[in-house]
Amino acid sequence: MKALLFDLDGTLIDSAQDIALALEKTLKQVGLIHKMPDDVRPFVGGGVKALLERVLGEDYREEFVEIFRSNYRENPVVYTRPFEGVVETLKVLKEAGLRLAVVSNKPEDLSVEILRRLDLADMFDFIAGGDTFPEKKPSPLPIIETLKILDADPCESVMIGDTEADLVAGKGAGTKTALAQWGYVKINSSKPDFYLKRPQDLLDIFNSSSAV
């Protein structure tokens, strides 16, 4: 195993509360606060447009996307923290010489800023957002292009995420896939190669591949 690619929200970081704050402010501004869900976690994944479409249904309007983004950018790291075990696991993997990257559907600049504020940005060789490449997950393109930048072969790489989009993108790019079960898990028909109950389980995958 040479490269590990991580989703961001629901995989590396628990950002649901900050997303909820931005969503609540947005819905108040557009007069749809009655649409605010009790828990945003089931709606997260796929980017802002997907979030708003899931929450609002037929009340969704394209202009709401920029309103949300503006609200979220004001305070992206109030409650957001890495999931327990993430920091320690990343340190071990990096010290072992693996190439590490983030492939998120969140805008690149915001992904970098959040990771920087959490002192995680330097852990990664590359950080891709939903606007880094012409397509975003579930398209395999961001995975394919990120692997080129990392100079890593798909068969020696794993895409780790908590949603169907992560698994579909990884499989389409030819990588192994791992489901982060501690996140905002949403999968339908896709089956990962590995089920992870906690971030530290990645070390078992790496150790097994090293032994082979």
Catalytic residue among 7, 9, 18, 162: 7
| Interatomic CA distance for residues 151 and 138, integer angstroms | 22
From the number of C-beta atoms within 10 Å of its C-beta (0-12, 13-18, 19+), residue 195 rates as exposed
Check if 7 is active-site.
Answer: yes
3-state SS, residue 32:
coil
- Active site (catalytic) residues: 7
